[in-house]
Amino acid sequence: MVKMESDAFVFFGATGDLAYKKIFPALYAMVHRGGFHIPIIGMARAGWDLDRLKARARDSIEHNGDFEEACFAKLSALLRYVDGDYADPATFVQLKTALGLAKSPIYYLAIPPSMFSSVVRGLQQCGCATNARLIVEKPFGRDLASAQALDRTLHEVFEESSIFRIDHYLGKEAVQNLLYFRFANTFLEPIWNREYIRDIQITMAESFGVQGRGAFYEEVGTIRDVVQNHLLQVVTLLAMDAPAGHDSKTMQAEKLRIFRAMRPLDPKEVVRGQFRGYRDESGVAKDSQIETFAALRLRIDTWRWADVPFYIRAGKNLPITATEVRVTLRRPPLAIFDPSDAMPSNYFRLRLSPEVVIGEGALAKLNGEDMRGEPVELIARHNSQSEKSPYERLLGDAVRGDTSLFTQDETVEAAWRVVDPILAGGLPVIPYEPGTWGPDAAAKIVDGGETWHDPQVERSSPC
């Protein structure tokens, strides 16, 4: 197992959109913070040279954040470039030369999965795969079968311990804060179970549409794009027990236990929607059956969570852009002061984006002689201008060999087993108006006379 830090960073797809928007800014930030001094080799088949790659890197950083000439000069000095066809062995001979004395490089495949096979075999044939690590970008397949096939391709050359499947959502500060909030506070654990929690809702809402990416969205849809990966990962952080140790293996093992306890989705407990106007987007079929909205009920068969529904809702062209978790507690066994149905239940509200907010819903007495109450929310906000971007955090961890925030093959496959029953077709897509909370049918997903809790625009308050 590779334990040393990587001594060269190679990214395939260096001229692409992902490199421009995420990779160059992350590398620049790592250089800016200090401690990142290894060669950075861009790989592409675009007919470019090193000067053009450096110009692309400069443009990327100037458009994606603060720019300092001295810092960029340090990054520029680390850059190398290799151009060639990924199916041509000569390309990898050039790469081996560019690597020089590097003994433990890390390769980032910022390219479509269809190219993975050519690249990993090219690395093996030129002797560049020994003692190396591999970063691969989601999507990790389109369903269980394709995910398993992709894993077989990677495992032909790389051991699982050397593969880093990057899901940028796990690198977000807010997601890390959720995990910390759960296990750093003693008061939560006694009530974080089926005896006290009635249900958990997770909403990932976007107020915009597909933004000109209709052709891409036709290939994925909401369930593949954010439910199978981002939101099921959030579920594991909410549902897992405390890991038995501090190392990444115990964290991964606990998350895998939760994934395996998730029931495969029942099509009767899933609603798919499509906003009106989606079919007019460029690259979208006129009779498209791809969902831009999904609402579902998830069950987790563990001692802690039996009979507690997890409700997940995600969609585009909704009233607000926000991702929020709402954990609703059961009512007290007796209503001493107010009728049991007159006041709302206690809850925890965890806003993950665009702000980081922790709210606790409680009841407080109103002024006056009568023992009557009102709902209040205790709010804690977290604001940091210096926090790392998800890609900066994840790339740094991968270079150091820390797998804590990356997904493993068994976890990816377990997540696909959950959603596979609703991917084969047969579930209709129900139209909904832009600016609404999806199809009316989504309300029926939440049972027991309850409703969805719609995220609201956060009101700023003085600190």
Residue % of the chain over a pLDDT of 90 = 73
Please check whether residue 2 lies inside any domain of the structure: no
CATH of the domain at 130: 3.40.50.720
Mean pLDDT of 183-209: 96
Q: Is the pLDDT of residue 462 over 50?
A: no
Examine the domain organization and report whether 20 and 121 are in the same domain: yes
Q: What angle do CA 199, 203, 207 make, to 5 degrees?
A: 160
Examine the domain organization and report whether 128 and 246 are in the same domain: no
Examine the domain organization and report whether 191 and 282 are in the same domain: yes
- Domain count for the chain, please give it: 2
Please check whether residue 370 lies inside any domain of the structure: yes
Examine the domain organization and report whether 282 and 419 are in the same domain: yes
Per-residue model confidence as pLDDT tens digits over 401-451: 988 888 899 999 999 999 999 998 789 999 999 999 999 999 999 987 789
Lowest mean pLDDT among 38-47, 68-77, 292-301, 419-428: 419-428
| Banded model confidence at residue 212, pLDDT cuts 50, 70, 90 | confident
Q: Please state at what angle helix 144-155 crosses helix 116-125, rounded to 10 degrees.
A: 10
pLDDT of residue 1: 43
Examine the domain organization and report whether 327 and 207 are in the same domain: yes
| Banded model confidence at residue 194, pLDDT cuts 50, 70, 90 | very high
Examine the domain organization and report whether 255 and 376 are in the same domain: yes
Pairing assessment for the beta strands 79-83 and 270-275 based on DSSP bridges: unpaired
**Active centre residues (catalytic):** 230
pLDDT of residue 384: 58
- Cα separation, 56 vs 77, whole angstroms: 14
Beta bridge partners of 364: 374
Q: Domain range spanning residue 86?
A: 8-137
Please check whether residue 259 lies inside any domain of the structure: yes
Per-residue model confidence as pLDDT tens digits over 382-415: 665 556 788 999 999 999 998 888 889 999 999 9
Q: How far apart are the first and last CA of the chain?
A: 48
Please check whether residue 392 lies inside any domain of the structure: no
Q: Residue 259 contacts by C-beta under 8 Å, 6 or more apart in sequence?
A: 232, 236, 411, 414, 415, 418
Amino acid letter, residue 397: D
Domain boundary among the residues 137, 161, 182 is at 137
Please check whether residue 90 lies inside any domain of the structure: yes
Please check whether residue 302 lies inside any domain of the structure: yes
Examine the domain organization and report whether 116 and 181 are in the same domain: no
SS3 379: strand
pTM (2 d.p.): 0.90
Please give the residue that has the higher pLDDT: either 449 or 241.
Answer: 241
pLDDT of residue 461: 47
Examine the domain organization and report whether 259 and 335 are in the same domain: yes
Per-residue model confidence as pLDDT tens digits over 321-367: 999 999 999 988 887 776 656 778 999 999 998 888 999 999 888 88
- Cα separation, 31 vs 385, whole angstroms: 18
Q: Judge residue 97's burial from the number of C-beta atoms within 10 Å of its C-beta, 0-12 exposed, 13-18 middle, 19 or more buried.
A: exposed
pLDDT of residue 333: 83
